[in-house]
């Protein structure tokens, strides 16, 4: 048996010439969540680390609950912690000293009110937000009439949409979906019927590839706008502007640096762009390719970049 293991190890060495001696053979555990983009992201980082000779394992874990594991060292790396939804939990974990922020992952999260393009005929002036003032009733449903219906994300996402509606004087009622699956189920349904809808969409996500539509252009976001009523268009209210966009961070268990210093370096270097991510997500979710295949294609196309991170 030992003999077989040896020869397999030799075979692995032969096929990967740039292999450096790694600090520990223990597998580095990368977490995966339940959305495609994140799994693609984790799979690519896994491929990169394996190319450098590390052993890795993908472990499925809840997006927020995973911090419990990252603190104790049960889990090691989380590749996507969104500024917009995970900041609070991340700061809390980093404050304990057991979790470290490994820097930006290159992706930028955009979250905003979004409408399908066919609504431009019914509500001229879009994507400018002021158009919404005149055609809120176009977005009404029987439950919200005469107010328009805006479908917000789950309450846990925050987002200050109730405040935004008030501050900008929009005749909309904010309805919260419970999960993002419910959110996009409504979009799919409305899109099939070309029915009016305006809702919270975020990128990178397959929805912005699959459906033709645009984000609303609110007055630009600034920190002051959220904190100081005087800033932005409404002098008496805060939140009278767009939502902030934010980086997507990489986080890791603090012990990674000691146990696998080389891997920690690679994780810090590793980045993807929004365009790459959107293309890969639609290849998986819309064209039905496997995540592994998409990750391999990316690895093949970006060999130089990967080698640069490793060395």
Partner 1 sequence: MIAPGALFWWALLAVTWALSTWSFQLYKALDARWIIRFPKGWQIDFEGWISAAMKWLLEDATFGLFTFQDLTRFVSSLIELPYDLARAALADGFITGLGSNAVQIAPPLGWVAVTALMMLLALYARGWGLAVLVGACFVYLAVFGQWDSAMVTLASVVIAVPIGVLGGLALGIACYRLAWVERSLRPVLDLMQTVPIFAYLVPILFLFGFGPVSALVATVIYAMPPMVRVATVALQSVPPEVVEAGHMAGCTRRQMMWKVLVPSAAPTLMVGVNQVIMLSLNMVIIASMIGAGGLGFDVLSALRRLDIGGGIEAGLAIVVIAIALDRVSQAFARRLPDAAPDRGAGPLQRHPYITAALAVVVATYLLGLALPALQDFPDRLTLTTSAFWEEAMRWINVTFFDTLDAIKSAFLTYLLLPVKRFFTGIPWAWGILATGLAAARIGGWRLGLMAAVMAGLIACVGLWDKAMTTVYLCGVSVLIAYAIGVPLGIWAGQRAGAHAWVGAFIDTLQTLPSFVYLIPVVMLFRVGDFSAMIAVVLYALAPAVRYAAHGVRSVDPQMIEAGLVAGCTPRQLLWRIKLPLAAPSLLLGLNQTIMLAISMLVITALVGTRDLGQEVYIALTKANVGQGIVAGLAVAFIAIVADRVISAMAAKSRERLGLT
Residue 77: which residues within 8 A CB-CB, separation 6 or more?
28, 29, 30, 31, 45, 102, 250, 251, 252, 253, 256, 267
Nearer to partner 1, 125 or 178 (CB): 178
Nearer to partner 1, 75 or 168 (CB): 75
In the complex, what is the shortest distance from the CB of residue 206 to partner 1, in angstroms, rounded to a whole number?
Answer: 7
CA end-to-end span of the chain = 34
Nearer to partner 1, 3 or 223 (CB): 3
Integer angstrom CA distances of residue 67 from 58, 98, 302: 16, 10, 31
Confirm if 147 and 172 have CB atoms less than 8 A apart: yes
The β-bridge partners of 121 are none
- Between 274-285 and 291-301, two packed helices, what is the crossing angle to 10 degrees? 140
Confirm if 174 and 152 have CB atoms less than 8 A apart: yes
In the complex, what is the shortest distance from the CB of residue 286 to partner 1, in angstroms, rounded to a whole number?
Answer: 9
By CB under 8 A, name the binding residues for partner 1: 1, 4-5, 8-9, 12, 25-27, 34-36, 50, 53-57, 59-69, 72, 74-75, 88-89, 141-143, 151, 154-156, 175-186, 188-189, 192-193, 195, 206, 285
Nearer to partner 1, 68 or 230 (CB): 68
In the complex, what is the shortest distance from the CB of residue 151 to partner 1, in angstroms, rounded to a whole number?
Answer: 7
In the complex, what is the shortest distance from the CB of residue 201 to partner 1, in angstroms, rounded to a whole number?
Answer: 14
In the complex, what is the shortest distance from the CB of residue 199 to partner 1, in angstroms, rounded to a whole number?
Answer: 10
Nearer to partner 1, 145 or 230 (CB): 145
Nearer to partner 1, 106 or 154 (CB): 154
The β-bridge partners of 99 are 253
Q: What is the 3-state secondary structure (H, E, C) of 175-238?
A: EECCCHHHHHHHHHHHHHHCCCCCEEEEECCCHHHHCCEEECECCCCCHHHHHCCCCCCCCCCC
In the complex, what is the shortest distance from the CB of residue 67 to partner 1, in angstroms, rounded to a whole number?
Answer: 7
Residue 84 DSSP SS3: helix
């Amino acid at each position: 048996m030992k003999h077989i293991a040896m020869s397999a190890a030799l075979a692995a060495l032969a096929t990967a010439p740039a292999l450096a001696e790694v600090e520990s053979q223990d597998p580095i555990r990368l977490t995966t969540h339940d959305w495609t983009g994140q799994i693609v992201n984790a799979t690519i980082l896994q491929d990169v680390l394996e190319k450098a000779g590390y052993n890795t394992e993908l472990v499925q874990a809840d997006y927020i609950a995973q911090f419990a594991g990252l603190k104790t060292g049960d889990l090691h790396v989380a590749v996507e912690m969104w500024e917009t939804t995970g900041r609070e939990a991340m700061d809390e974990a980093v404050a304990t000293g057991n979790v470290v922020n490994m820097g930006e992952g290159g992706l930028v999260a955009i979250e905003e009110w979004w409408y399908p393009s066919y609504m431009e005929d019914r509500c001229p002036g879009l994507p400018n937000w002021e158009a919404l003032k005149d055609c809120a009733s176009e977005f009404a449903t029987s439950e919200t009439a005469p107010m328009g219906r805006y479908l917000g994300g789950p309450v846990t996402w925050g987002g200050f949409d109730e405040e935004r509606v008030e501050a900008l004087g929009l005749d909309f009622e904010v309805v919260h979906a419970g999960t993002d699956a419910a959110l996009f189920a409504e979009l799919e349904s409305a899109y099939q019927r070309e029915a009016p809808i305006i809702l919270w969409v975020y990128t990178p996500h397959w929805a912005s590839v699959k459906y033709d539509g645009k984000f609303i252009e609110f007055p630009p976001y600034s920190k002051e706008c959220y904190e100081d009523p005087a800033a932005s268009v409404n002098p008496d209210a805060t939140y009278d502007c767009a939502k902030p966009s934010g980086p997507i961070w990489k986080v890791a268990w603090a012990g990674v640096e000691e146990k696998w210093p080389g891997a920690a370096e690679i994780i810090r270097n590793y980045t993807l762009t929004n365009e790459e991510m959107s293309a890969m997500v639609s290849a998986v979710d819309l064209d039905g390719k496997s995540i592994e295949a998409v990750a391999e294609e990316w690895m093949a196309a970006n060999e130089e970049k990967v080698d640069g991170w490793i060395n």
